[in-house]
Amino acid sequence: MDLFDKCYKFTEAKQAIAAGIYPYFVPLTGNEGTEAVFRGKRLIMCGSNNYLGLTVDPRVRQAAIEAIERFGTSCTGSRFLNGNLEFHEQLEHELAEYVGKEAALVFSTGMQVNLGTISALVGRGDYVILDKEDHASIVDGALLSFGETKRFAHNDLDDLERLLKRLPADRGKLVVVDGVFSMGGDLAPLDELVPLCKKYGARLMVDDAHGLGVTGGGRGTAWQFGVTEGVDLIMSTFSKSFASLGGFVAGDEAVIHYIKHHARSLLFSASIPPANAAAALAALKIMREEPERVARLNQIGDYMRAGFKRLGFNTGKSVTPIIPIIIGDRMRTVMIWHVLFEAGVFVNPVLTPAVPEGMDLLRTSYMATHTYDQLDKVLAVFEQVGKQVGLI
């Protein structure tokens, strides 16, 4: 068999493109935070992870510009060799303090944080235990390790305990969960996970990519539950609330030092450019000084969740500004996305296998900078479309 046969047989996306309903890789010509432009048409953006609206904040933009003027556009090497800047280390110090840990380590992307951290820590004979709705980067990090991967039912601590009971007590164990689950908008029960992991000698890592800047007054999900000390590792990305690109992991100094010298995705990748580090630092400063942004973001999340429920939409178990509209059918989800898009509302269709079978959904997410006029228009469009397609 020709290795490329699978490529020639993959026609589903091309068929959707030909039909004018392909919902991915949409080439935007403008992005102004709460609004985007596609072929001259303005859309209310309800599909971004720009939770605090800082990508267009003039202070963040200016910090990036000044970093380029000082350092240029790239570090042209890995942090291990020539690509390590004072900016990177300053950012690590401030991030560790912000999330309540001894040390932090900055990677080039959030994906690389999970790939590098999990594969560096979990070796032969060890176990990595994942929630079945964990992000793909966590799953891939587990696959890259030489340990054995186990999965437990989503947020089912009884299932997790049954699994942990069966594992050898003398083997290393790492439990990894999302703090805020990126599709459902629900939280991992960290207040229950921490004592359970301690009971069975497992370490706990929390992917808080969608929690930093959103939960715990901005400081994340562990902070919200009051269990920061009990969570061994906290990771997050800069591509959401931090209005940049990159990621970090924070924990005990000795553990971070080990990851720093063993994570291949750090050692063999170019470091984040100066502009990205400076933008993340500026965003972090704003988070500290303007906690009202986080408060407004969550008020908006509550407002939209209540609005969708009032109209009769199924929003699952969301308790955050990530609000899924569960459709349950693949083609219907794409068709509703298309009608919403044509009506001026940008959301994200999420299909199986990215979500469990029968849970195809429209992922909506909100920013602290959305206006109530915009939000009311979104609800009005959803009501019109929902009635039109018989969803409500």
Q: For residue 224, what pLDDT is reported?
A: 97
Non-local (6+) Cβ contacts of 9 within 8 A are none
Q: What is the CA radius of gyration of the chain?
A: 21
CATH T-level assignment (fold) for domain 58-289:
Aspartate Aminotransferase; domain 2 (3.40.640)
CATH class of 5-56+291-388: alpha beta
Q: For residue 309, what pLDDT is reported?
A: 97
Q: What are phi and psi of 264, to 5 degrees?
A: -65, -35
Count the Cβ atoms, other than its own, within 10 Å of residue 282: 23
On whether the CB atoms of residues 17 and 331 are closer than 8 A, the answer is no
Write out the two tokens for 369.
Answer: 């900078």
Cα–Cα distance, 100 to 372 (Å, whole number): 34
Q: For residue 353, what pLDDT is reported?
A: 87
Q: For residue 113, what pLDDT is reported?
A: 98
Q: For residue 105, what pLDDT is reported?
A: 98
C-alpha distances in angstroms, 52 versus 71, 191, 297?
27, 26, 7
pTM of the model: 0.95
Run means of pLDDT, 10 residues per run, the chain, 392 residues = 94 92 93 92 96 97 97 94 94 98 98 98 97 96 96 98 96 98 97 98 98 97 98 98 97 98 97 97 97 97 98 97 96 94 96 89 98 98 94 88
Q: For residue 354, what pLDDT is reported?
A: 85
Q: What residues does CATH 3.40.640.10 cover in the chain? A: 58-289
Q: How many residues does the chain have?
A: 392
Q: What residues does CATH 3.90.1150.10 cover in the chain? A: 5-56+291-388
